[in-house]
Structure 1
Amino acid sequence: MASTEEITFCVLLEEFRLYSSNVADQPLTVQKAIDLIDRLQENVQRAAVVEAGVLRLILTTILARGHLLLEDVPGIGKTLTAKALAQSLHASFKRIQCTPDLLPSDITGTSIYNQREQRFVFVPGPLFAQFVLVDEINRATPRTQSSLLEAMAERQVTVDGQTHRMEEPFFLIATQNPVESAGTFPLPEAQLDRFLISLSLGYPPFEDEVSILEREEHGDPLATLAAVLTPEDVLALQALVKAVGVVRPLKEYIVRVVTATRDHPDVLLGVSPRGGVALQRAAQAMALLNHRDFVTPDDIKAVARGVLVHRLMTHEESREIAVQVIDTVLKSTPVPVG
């Protein structure tokens, strides 16, 4: 027969289970989402010196269930920022260093015959993590680059006819050095289109660079960085972003912006309809970062460069010209009033 203490413990355990279940079933409110996002931003900046506007665009990519392309020189903190994000979210993290001899199976994984069980067993590659940093993606061959497409677009990988789902949330950051071109393989348009946002960070401001030197005196900044959110929190935030309102006049504004890129004289290939969908998704995430549950024209303008620049093919294939095109289009396209 159970003792009084055992019965009391079981009752308390059941009450806690019911309470936890009720909390998990409660929908995430906008105010709660704002608190989570603010906490995440503060925590990442404890470890990584990253400009606030850049961090907001990175978080926009995550909340919109997209992937990020960073076009920058080495040594400006891309890996540290990615690790700080993953650690802050208690998410698994893997880094893939791309080289010309890297094979698709080195990324996705492979099937190995298990003699004891007399069957093939799938051994996942480094792509199977919640946060994946693909360093110098343009040093991988086109065949290896293409092995990322299915994972980025469909969040799954097919190996030997078997489909393996990625663990959610799944977020990929790819980097490439815009200065070095020898021995590289430029990303095709189809793959560039899979990145929600592309950024060029540039060198940090003077004060930020001094702050980096000061932090070095205190050892590894990640050593004491605690998780402040969970992967489940990220999934809840992503679901909330989908519910952020976009009125029809703003949808029409997005289409006008996208259409205008196709008619610009400096553009060889304009933004596709998929780019318009990406612009809306990113604007919804930015609205939530701006503490709102509805999109405004300012949200669209704030993400337009990051979402659209890499989707443009200009006659001179210049990022600077693509940026100028987007800026011109935003200035010339009438903004909805009311």
Structure 2
Amino acid sequence: MLRGKTDVVRMAVACLFAGGHLLVEDAPGVGKTSLAKALAVSIGGTWQRVQFTPDLLPSDITGISMWRAEAGRFEFRPGAVFANVVIGDEINRASPKTQSALLEVMEERQVTVDAETHRVPLPFMVLATQNPIDMEGTYRLPEAQLDRFLMRLSVGYPDLATEMEILTGGDSAASAAQLAAVTSPQTVSQMIAMVRQSHTSPSVVQYVATLAAATRTRPELRLGVSPRGSLGWLRAAQALAYGQGRPYVVPDDVKAVARPVLAHRLLLTPDADVRGTRVVDVLDEVLASVPAPTRTQAS
């Protein structure tokens, strides 16, 4: 489905096992939606695809209470979020009001409509794609929304050999239709629970906390990692270790997921932005500035 992007797929699966939400940002036509569909279909269960457009309403996402004259009462009609996997295609083409309809359900796995709370099925994952924010007709996702995505990934263009395989490999839509589930929602829920039980030594926990604190004091950054971000960072490291067959986390796991988990959470100061500073470069400097615990300490 997504040739030549093993690292991207590995991170997407780690995001799933960590119980998080995934944002895939890149130019049109590089396989963002294909990745989302493949992940959704592979876990079985239910999934919904929502094409975000400027005229999409919040009630299309969450659902609406409608009056049923024959029953003499209001009846809740679930929206698109009532599925195990919700694919939000081009999420930044919808208005900020519609984008914000996802805030509650992404954090609390529930929707409140007319003062009534409705739980969504578990496991639950929002897998959104977006085009670069400088493209016409797009809206920047607010910081509160970005912080609810555990990871942000970029697919990127394929290399020459991979693109030749794509050109001679047939219709990608047909390939998507041929995919079959390789697990079940119940198994995924069990995996998420097992990931959270992975052994994490106090030295690794301290390492994550120290790195998170370091992002909040960098002069180039006006917004560092939130506590939600540092917790997600640790869970992503646990999921990566679990996917590699290890029941414990090592510092290399923490470093491996740093960019996907943190880069979209950090905001540059205006001066740093004008100077052309990149968030990933600041993040790399933070990682280099804090000594990692030794393997003996991390075990």
Residue 36 of structure 2 is aligned with which of 51, 60, 82? 82
Task: Find the aligned partners of 1:258 and 1:62 in 2 and give their Cα distance.
Answer: 22
Deviations 1:56-100 (A, max 9, x none): 110111111100111111111121222122222112221111122
Give the match for residue 143 of structure 2: 189
CA–CA separation in structure 2 for the residues paired with 1:314 and 1:161: 38
Amino acid at match of 2:127: I
Structure 2: distance between partners of 1:92 and 1:290:
27
Number of aligned pairs? 292
User: Shift of the alpha carbon at 1:224?
Assistant: 2.6
Give the alignment's Cα RMSD to 1 decimal: 1.8
Aligned partner of 1:29 in structure 2 is none
**Contact 1:268–1:313 under 8 Å retained in 2:** yes
Q: Give the counterpart letter for 2:11 in structure 1.
A: L
How far apart in 1 are the matches of 2:172 and 2:281?
Answer: 42
How far apart are the structure 2 equivalents of 1:260 and 1:69?
25
SS in structure 2 opposite 1:58? Answer: helix
Deviation at 1:320, TM superposition (A): 6.9
SS in 2 for 1:212: helix
| Structure 1 pair 140–243 and aligned structure 2 pair: CA distance change class (3 A) | same
Deviations 1:248-270, CA, capped at 9 Å, x for gaps: 01111101111111222211111
Runs of 4+ with deviation above 6 angstroms: none
Q: How does 1:23-34 map to 2 (within 5 A)?
A: none
In the other structure, the counterpart of 2:280 is: 323
Letter in 2 for 1:228: V
Give the structure 1 partner of residue 190 of structure 2: 236
Check the 8 A contact 1:271/1:312 in 2, yes or no: yes
Q: Who is 1:309 aligned against?
A: 263
CA gap 1:80/1:218 in 2 versus in 1, 3 angstroms = closer
Q: Deviations over 1:221-269 (max 9, x none)?
A: 1333222211111011101001101100111110111111122221111
Structure 2 counterparts to residues 9-88 of structure 1, below 5 A: 47-49=1-3, 51-88=5-42
Q: Does residue 92 of structure 1 match 2:46? A: yes
> How many Å apart are 1:218 and its aligned residue?
8.6
Give the CA deviation at 1:200: 1.7
**Quick one: distance in 1 between partners of 2:8 and 2:40?**
17
The aligned amino acid for 2:290 is T
CA contact (8 A) 1:73 1:179 kept: no
Give the corresponding residue for 1:271. Answer: 225
- Which of residues 89, 102, 117 is equivalent to 1:163? 117
Does structure 1 retain, via aligned residues, the 8 Å contact 2:25–2:32? no
Q: Is the 8 A contact 2:204 2:250 kept in 1?
A: yes
Q: Can you list the C-alpha shifts for 1:125-180, whole angstroms capped at 9, x where unaligned?
A: 11211111112222222211111000100011111111111111111112221153
SS at match of 1:148: helix
Task: Tell me which amino acid in the other structure corresponds to 2:143.
Answer: E
Q: Partners in 2 of 1:136 and 1:217 — Cα distance?
A: 22
Residue 300 (str. 1) matches residue 254 (str. 2): yes
1:251 partnered with 2:205:
yes
Structure 1, 87-96 or 237-246: larger mean CA deviation: 87-96
Does the 8 Å CA contact 1:111/1:122 hold for their aligned counterparts? yes
Q: What residue identity is the alignment partner of 1:308? A: L
Q: Pairwise mapping of residues 207-226 of structure 1 onto structure 2 (< 5 A)?
A: 207-216=161-170, 220-226=174-180
Deviations 1:176-235 (A, max 9, x none): 211534333211111111010111221122222222223216970133322221111101
Q: Aligned equivalents of 2:35 and 2:109: distance in 1?
A: 23
Rounded Cα–Cα distance in structure 2 between residues aligned with 1:243 and 1:235: 13
The 3-state SS of whatever aligns with 1:221 is helix
Match of 1:37 in 2: none
Change (3 A) 1:305 1:124: same
C-alpha separation in 2, matches of 1:63 and 1:141: 30
The equivalent of 2:289 in structure 1 is 332
Q: Tell me, which stretches of 5 or more residues in structure 2 are unaligned?
A: none
Unmatched tracts of structure 1, length 5 or more: 1-46
Amino acid at match of 2:286: V
**One-letter amino acid of the counterpart of residue 277, structure 1:** L
Q: What is the correspondence of 1:125-164 to structure 2 with a 5 Å cutoff?
A: 125-164=79-118
Displacement of 1:290: 1.5
Retained in 2: the 8 A contact 1:50–1:81? no
Matches within 5 A, 1:100-119: 100-119=54-73
Q: Which amino acid aligns with 1:332?
A: S
Secondary structure of 1:244's aligned partner: coil
